């Protein structure tokens, strides 16, 4: 006898490509939606997978992907449904010496590929559709530098989780069922004082970073960048976020930087790290690396699952 209980479709859990592998090239595009631009913005978000597929199809080796995020004010304007539980404007931090600024941002497009021309092409198509509807707040073209190093010469992302651990760190689960498969992204653009940094000895640099420069191996360096950014959970285990930071720069203008982006299932963990960096900890601080790196942007976005983003963009609400 057939059951009278209707079958329940599986929840929407197809994430955007948050867990994508490191790329050779990236564009970080942050825009604000102009008054009256809500409909074109929703249309771009709905069309994004098709745009990505069309540009990527002739070049499968290019591994083109794009993650789209929505800021708190834009969420209310675009969709008119309750926000994800932890979505709020980026919280500015003013420490004794350093300042984490909060800057405008309604939409984030994190575009990655093995080739910079594919990143450029997708960025151009997005902006063509947003012309007259959105204002660019920041557009940063980033690149992989040597063997995964930043422009300060150190290997970046050494402690990134991988595989199932990356999904556990970055993707929302049953704690917020309506937004399962989504993530929170915090972005900050840092400019480095390379001249001052290069005035230090290698040993001084290593004490500040907390790792060896040649190999990236962890050092016993209390108060270092590595030490300040280590957050332990109640069980004593290190809590992790998924970093996808990349270098950028224009040497002719003396610009050298790191575009920091971190994905997490709860932005509170990333915010805790930033508070430790900028405000210090009971044991000391703030982060000594901030004496050579200045944050010039700061924004928080929610990254819906791919299915939820499609539903919201096409229908204005989850189905």
Catalytic residues: 156
The strand pair at 299-303 and 183-192 is best described as antiparallel
Tokens of 210: 């907390």
Give 221-286 as a 3 state SS string.
Answer: CCCCHHHHCCCECCCCCECCCEECCEEEEEHHHCEEEEEEEEEECCHHHHHHHHHHHHHCECCECC
Q: What is the C-alpha to C-alpha distance for residues 149 and 158, in angstroms, rounded to an integer?
A: 10
């Amino acid at each position: 006898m057939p059951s009278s209980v209707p079958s329940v479709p599986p929840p929407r859990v197809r994430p955007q490509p948050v867990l994508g592998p490191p790329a050779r090239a990236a564009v970080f595009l942050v825009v604000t939606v102009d008054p009256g631009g809500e409909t074109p913005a929703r249309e771009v978000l709905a069309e994004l997978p098709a745009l990505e597929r069309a540009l990527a199809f002739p070049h499968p080796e290019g591994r083109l992907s794009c993650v789209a995020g929505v800021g708190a004010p834009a969420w209310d304007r675009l969709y008119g449904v309750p926000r994800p539980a932890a979505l709020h404007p980026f919280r500015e931090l003013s420490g004794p010496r350093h300042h984490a600024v909060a800057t405008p941002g309604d939409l984030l497009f994190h575009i990655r590929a093995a080739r910079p021309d594919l990143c450029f092409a997708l960025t151009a198509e997005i902006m063509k559709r947003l012309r007259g509807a959105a204002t660019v707040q920041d557009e940063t073209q980033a690149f992989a530098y040597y063997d995964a190093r930043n422009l300060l010469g150190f290997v970046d992302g050494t402690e990134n989780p991988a595989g199932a651990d990356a999904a556990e760190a970055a993707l929302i689960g049953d704690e917020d069922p309506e937004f399962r498969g989504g993530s929170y992204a915090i972005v900050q653009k840092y400019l480095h004082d390379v001249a001052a940094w290069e005035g230090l000895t290698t040993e001084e640099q290593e004490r500040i970073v907390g790792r060896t420069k040649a190999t990236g191996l962890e050092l016993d360096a209390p108060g270092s960048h590595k030490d300040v950014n280590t957050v332990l959970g109640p069980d004593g285990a290190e809590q992790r976020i998924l970093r996808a930071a990349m270098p950028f720069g224009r040497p002719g203008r003396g610009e050298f930087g790191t575009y920091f982006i971190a994905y997490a299932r709860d932005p509170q963990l990333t915010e805790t790290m930033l508070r430790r960096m900028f405000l210090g900890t009971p044991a000391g601080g703030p982060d000594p690396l901030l004496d050579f790196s200045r944050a010039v942007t700061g924004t928080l976005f929610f990254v819906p699952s791919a299915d939820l983003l499609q539903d919201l963009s096409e229908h204005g609400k989850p189905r």
